[in-house]
């Protein structure tokens, strides 16, 4: 599986991974991460789609298996801690 690609093709199998770190830049395990997607359209606001949540691993890495079977376009993928919304 490819990780954190900037450009994908519909039907690609890929994942995204983020580090969950504290203020001292240490990885933090077992934190809930919410994944969101928003299409980027010039001059308009599009709805944010919540894709789901995943939990950071023992070593503080959270992973999302991304389904690329969506409408072609430009998108912004966001990962945020569930407790920080």
Mean pLDDT of each 10-residue bin along the chain, 85 residues long: 84 92 97 95 87 97 92 90 77
pLDDT of residue 33: 98
pLDDT of residue 11: 83
| Alpha-carbon dihedral angle through residues 56, 7, 36, 65, given to the nearest 10 degrees | -40
pTM of the model: 0.87
pLDDT of residue 28: 97
3-state helix, strand, coil in the chain (%, to 5): 5, 50, 50
pLDDT of residue 1: 55
């Amino acid at each position: 599986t490819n990780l954190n690609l900037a450009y994908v093709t519909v039907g690609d199998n890929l994942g995204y991974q983020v580090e969950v770190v504290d203020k001292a830049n240490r990885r933090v395990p077992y934190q809930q991460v919410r994944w969101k997607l928003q299409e980027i359209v010039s001059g308009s606001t599009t709805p944010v789609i919540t894709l789901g949540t995943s939990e950071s691993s023992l070593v503080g890495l959270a992973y999302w298996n991304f389904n690329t079977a969506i409408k072609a376009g430009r998108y912004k993928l966001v990962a945020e801690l569930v407790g920080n919304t």
